[in-house]
Chains A and B, each alone.
Chain A
Amino acid sequence: MTQFIDLTLSGISNGAIYAAVALALVLIWRATRIVNFAQGAMLMITTYIAAALVEAGNPYWLALVVAVAAGLVFGALTELVLIRRVESAPPINAVIVTLGLLVFLEALAGMIWSDTPRAFPAAFSIQGYEVGHTRILFSPNSTFIVCVVALVALALGALFRYTSLGLKLRAAAFAPEVARLLGVRVGRMFTIGWALAAGVGALAGALVAPSTFVGPSNFDPILIFAFTAAVLGGLESPLGAIVGGVLIGLVLSYVSGYEGEALAPLAALAMLLLTLMLRPTGIFAASRERRV
């Protein structure tokens, strides 16, 4: 029973990270109809920056803020310099460009910081809460992770729903031509979408780094399952990213715990396939979109 509880808790805190990165993927998908495979590598770079700041003796919170800021700038620059050039090309070209960016950034990190992973501090204690006579696999830092991810999701939801910027972002994504006619600066909306996504990604990187460490390819598995989560939840939906992330986190945790880790990705695949058979565009699919 305690094992079940621990597996559940670990699934939720891992799932929160998948959710955050999935959220970043959803933001970019909504903005530019591109799946950003470089997301994991971009957040790796910003986390290295944060780690370097901490190692230089700066406080954790400053490092966190700088990482997120660096993410925003990095995302905007990526869109302006690279993605803009392939936005009008077939979608497959953008996929290759982001793959190229992924490979390049990992190589760059290896050149600058070597392939040896380094430690990253946690914001709060990672000692689990004491329940009865034992500690559970959920610490104040896990609480922090889950709360931050939930807050970010809520904030983004509010941004899209209640602000004029959110409206413009949605308009630029769903009907760029119409939006342009209505005076929305579509290109700028794309840039903002990428910046927001990379900022969220940077936050996710800093949150997960204490438990995975910082290394050039350490965040690859996170990107993979975040992508699975985003597709599961529906690429259009921020809420879907959150639900998908937690579902994937739980499935991976339970299957690893009871059936062995080697079959965990297969279980994730099975869940994804079954879901998509029933709902081809994810759990929270915007069914309106097909009719338009």
Chain B
Amino acid sequence: MSLSMSKRRAWLLAVAAGGLAVVGCGSSGSTVGVTPTSVTFGTHQPLTGPAAPGYSEIAPASIAFFKYVNAHGGVWGRKINLIVKNDEYNPTQTVNVVHQLVLQEKVFGIFEGLGTPTHTKVVGFLNSEKVPDLFVASGCPCWDNGAEHPYTFGWQPNYTIEGKILGQYIAQHFAGKKVGVLYQNDDFGNGGLAGIRDEVPSKDIVATQPYEPGTTTLAAQITAIKSAGAEVLVDFTVPIYTAIGQLTAFTLGYTPQLVVSSVGIDPTTVAALLKTISKGKASGTALIEGAITTNYLPSSTETSNPWIALFRRIHSEYDPGTPFDGNTVYGMATAYTLVQALKAAGKNLTREAIVKAVEEGGKSWSGPGLVPFRYTKTQHGGYGGAEIGRVEGGKIVLSGKPLLTEPTAGTPITPYTGSQPAPPTGGVPSE
């Protein structure tokens, strides 16, 4: 720490000695966290504790992608560094580590800070300090407020967008069937439930059961949904609770049509948890086979997708020994978007420049996403839709028909006609 400080100071002295010309043209040297050869971001992630499973893989995947980009010359000659701090998903710690990153480590910006209850507590600070707060790893609608929080940008689709798309599918394909919803009692679950309510007739929704993250059993929730006679079970759950819920349903002999948000269905994770039930009488994927879900990125199991092939190659080179699953794809895809943003911000990197780059160009960036971003000056939400998929043979098979919508109630769901481009040669974004 003190080493890097003294280095930076030495470098600043060198600039001062080098003459006023550099300062005069608004050099990147005046921007915190940026040198001619590097740019440093910070992030807060749950590396340990109850929220760590799965999520702790995201930042290492992003770092792997940055290492890959750095090995190929970086962006505008700068290598990307990411300082990861563990906040244990405890907002007190989030506030602490983000202050540390901004005030002491002097990072250029915060990247993919994870979680709604955590990140909502630093948005005010980051915006008052004018620190770019890029691509928050949460689908809370709260990031989508360019007027109030000009420096904060979401990335993944808003939870309500996903809920609406799932809800429309239910209304169209399981019309008139009774629907039960199991949801995590936070903004993720509540946002998803709001989306379902927007599309599914309220008379069809027979049970809505929240659970608190951290619980060890879902017996109360699943029995309530079963006894309400739900024929369709919608899960807004994280993978471990998708698994616990399906185990409980299995015990009860309850086999509704399963519909799961993209958060809770990563087949690699869920199948690994379900693989040993009843000594192989039911295989891991059997309990989620046929489940309907959405995705806004290609599935990690889709080996033929060129983006997945690229990410797998980078993963095996720079983050070996860890599983390759949906979280890995997530971490690499967000890193890809950050590289796009840095490219677009230009050689004279400033905090204002990168914000402007996302606001002005973000909507047209293509990448691993199946749908475009929604970024404008006022709209700071991420992907504007998702694609319905289905678990078949332990893999998610996408329908090939991406859908777009707005998070607000009553807005229509429209098909997206563009297609996903192949990754650029070399895998480093060129725009």
Contacts and interface: CB of A to CB of B under 8 A. Distances in A.
Assess A/B contact in the complex (Cβ within 8 A): yes
B48 A3 contact: no
A187 interface: no
B212 A262 contact: yes
| 8 shortest interchain CB distances as A-B pairs | A135-B253, A10-B219, A256-B220, A115-B52, A257-B220, A121-B276, A6-B223, A128-B251
Interface string A58-77: 00100000000000000000
B114 to A, nearest CB: 14
Nearest to B322: A114
B205 interface: no
Q: Which of B220, B227, B272, B323 has the most CB of A within 10 A?
A: B220
Contacts of B49: 115, 217
B210 interface: yes
Nearest to A6: B223
A127 B251 contact: yes
Interface in A184-230: 208, 210-213, 215-218, 221-222
Nearest to B243: A213
A126 interface: yes
Interface of A: 2-3, 6-7, 10, 14, 54, 60, 107, 110, 114-122, 125-128, 130, 134-139, 208, 210-213, 215-218, 221-222, 253, 256-257, 260-262
Given A213-B240, A213-B243, A3 B223 contact: yes
Contacts of B278: 122, 125-127
B277 A122 contact: yes
Contacts of A261: 185, 210-212, 215, 220-221
B53 interface: yes
B210 A119 contact: no
Contacts of A60: 279
Contact of A211 (B185, B247, B254): B247
A10 B50 contact: no
A222 B216 contact: yes
B357 interface: no
Given A122-B277, A256-B215, 13 more contacts: A3-B227, A6-B219, A10-B217, A116-B54, A118-B273, A119-B273, A121-B277, A127-B251, A137-B223, A213-B240, A215-B53, A256-B221, A257-B220
B5 to A, nearest CB: 30
A119 B254 CA distance: 21
Q: Which of B54, B210, B251, B254 has the most CB of A within 10 A?
A: B251
Contacts of A118: 272-273
B251 A135 contact: yes
Contact of B276 (A3, A14, A54, A137): A54
Q: Which of A114, A208, A253 has the most CB of B within 10 A?
A: A114
Contacts, number: 133
Given A135-B251, A213-B240, A117 B216 contact: no
B276 A7 contact: no
Contacts of A117: 53, 240, 273
Contacts of B47: 115
B203 interface: no
A115 B48 contact: yes
Contact of B223 (A107, A218, A257): A257
B214 interface: yes
B379 interface: no
B219 A253 contact: yes
Contacts of B53: 115-117, 215
B79 to A, nearest CB: 28
Nearest to A265: B212
A176 to B, nearest CB: 37
Contacts of A135: 251-254
A118 B252 CA distance: 23
19 contacts: A14-B219, A115-B47, A115-B48, A115-B53, A116-B53, A116-B57, A117-B273, A118-B272, A119-B275, A121-B279, A211-B216, A211-B244, A213-B240, A216-B48, A221-B216, A253-B217, A260-B210, A261-B215, A262-B212
Contacts of B54: 116
B220 A10 contact: yes
B252 A128 contact: yes
Nearest to B323: A116
A6 B323 CA distance: 37
Contacts of A215: 53
B329 to A, nearest CB: 16
A14 B216 CA distance: 9
B27 interface: no
